[in-house]
Amino acid sequence: MTIRILKQLSPTFTLDIDLETQSDCPLGILGVSGAGKSMTLKCIAGLETPDEGFIELDGTVLFDSNRRINLKPQERRAGYLFQHYALFPHMTLLENLTVVLTSSQYEKNECAYHWIDKFGLAGLEHRFPRKLSGGQQQRAALARIFLSNPRAMLLDEPFSALDADLCEYMRIEIAGLINGMMAENFQNTILVTHSRDDVFALCQDLAIMDSGRVIARGKPETVFNNPGTVQAARLTGCKNISSIKHINDFEFEALDWGTHLRVIKPLARETTHIAIRAHHLEAGFGRDFNEIPIVEKQRSTTAFETTVLVSNIHYREGIIWWKLPRTEQLTIPATLYFPPEQLMPLKNA
C-alpha cells in the first residue's frame, strides 16, 4: 500500500504522510491522541478526503488528486474497525453481519454463520449489541469486516473500549486471526494505537507519528532499541532522557542527571541527548564508571513491578526512573549503574 497525502486540519496542524507498507507485514501506527493516526485511516478508507496526494492499494488507485480519482468508501474495500465497533443497535448480531452482503437471504445467512462460528459467536446470533460483551461486540465487528471481503483491514484503537484482562485476551485472539487471514491471502493490515503492547503483539512493522508526521519507522524491536530522536524515544515510553555535553567520542556529561557517562560506540557529533530505559538500569557494585550515588525520591508498586524514582545524591533536581521486578523488601543500593550498551544516542529533531 502507498499513502502519500496532505490534509490541513487546522491553521497550525497539517497531516503530512508518506508511507509504503508491505502487504504481508501488518503495520502499527503508534502515537498520542491528536497525532493524526485515525485521520490517516479515515483518508485510506475514504471517510475523509485529503487536500492532495495519492493512495494505492494492491494496484488499485483509491485516491489521486492530480487525476481527480477519489473512490467511494464501498469501492475501496477497506474494512474499518471503529474504536467502538459501530454495530447497529437496532439489529441483531446476525443482521449486523448480513447487512454488508447483497446475495440472497439464504446465501447471506450461510456466509454469516461461517464467520459466526470462526469468531466463536455461535449461539449469540439473535442478540442485540447491548446484550453482547465488549469482546463479543469486537468479534462481531471483525466478522462483519471479513464478510465484506476487504482488501485491507484498518484497526482504529481496537482495544480502547475493553478492560485490561479482556484487552490482553483479544490481542492474542486477533493476532491469531490476522495470521490466519494472511495464510488465506488476506493481507494488508494497519493498526492505529497508543499502546506499545498492541504494536508488539500484532505488528511486524512500526511507524511512530507525531504532530501529523511519521518521525520513526522500522521493525518494532529496532525502533524501540534505537528511536533516533528525543520525541520518538518519549513516544516509545522511555522516561530517562538527558541532554548531554560531549567530552570525547565515547564520554559525555549527562546534564540532567549530573553525571559523567561513557558509551561503547562513538557518539555522532549531532547527538544532543542520551536515553536509557528504566528497566535497563542496574544496582551498582563498585564499578569505576557509569555508576552514580543515588537517593530515593518516591516509589510505587504494582502486582509484579516496582518503580523507583531516584536522583543523583549530588544533583537532586534530575529524576531517574528505575523499574525492577517486585520483591517483598526492596533495599535501594548506594549507587545505580548505567550499562553503556543500553545507552541510546538521540537527536533533538
CATH code assigned at 79: 3.40.50.300
pLDDT at 227 over 90: yes
Does residue 158 sit in the same domain as residue 59? Answer: yes
- pLDDT attached to residue 327: 77
Q: How many domains does the chain have?
A: 2
Domain boundary among 225, 241, 267: 225
Residues 231-268 have pLDDT tens digits of: 999 999 999 999 999 999 999 999 999 999 999 999 99
Q: Are residues 72 and 220 in the same domain?
A: yes
- Check whether residue 175 and residue 239 sit in a common domain: no
The mean per-residue pLDDT over the stretch 212-235 comes to 95
Per residue in 51-103, pLDDT (tens digit) is 999 999 988 999 999 999 999 998 998 888 887 888 999 999 999 998 877 77
Q: Which domain-ending residue is among 225, 243, 266?
A: 225
* pLDDT at position 121 over 70: yes
Domain stops at, among 207, 225, 243: 225
pLDDT tens for 25-47 read 889 999 988 999 999 999 999 99
Amino acid 99: pLDDT: 85
Distances (CA, A) of 21 to 18, 28, 53, 134, 190: 10, 10, 16, 30, 9
- Whether residue 14 is found in the same domain as residue 110: yes
Whole-number pLDDT of residue 328:
66
- C-alpha distances (whole Å) from 138 to each of 41, 186, 192 are 18, 19, 15
Cβ atoms of 142 and 171 closer than 8 Å: no
Q: Does the pLDDT of residue 343 top 80, yes or no? A: yes
My answer on whether 72 and 205 are in the same domain is yes
Statement to judge: residues 292 and 315 lie in one domain: yes
Domain with 138 in it: 2-225
Q: What pLDDT shows up at residue 191? A: 92
Asked if 23 and 160 sit in the same domain, the reply is yes
C-alpha distances out from residue 74 to 23, 42, 58, 100, 142, Å: 20, 13, 16, 10, 17
Same-domain pairing of 84 and 170: yes
The total number of residues written for the chain in this structure:
349
177 and 65 share one domain: yes
In this prediction, residue 184 carries a pLDDT of 57
138 with 262, same domain: the answer is no
Q: In what order do the strands lie in the sheet with 60-64?
A: 13-20, 2-10, 52-57, 60-64, 69-70
DSSP string, 105-119: HHHHHHHHHHHHHHT
Dihedral sign computed on CA atoms, order 250, 254, 258, 263:
negative
| Same domain assignment for residues 52 and 103 | yes
Note whether 109 and 251 are same-domain residues. Answer: no
36: left (phi over 0), alpha (psi -120 to 50) or beta: left
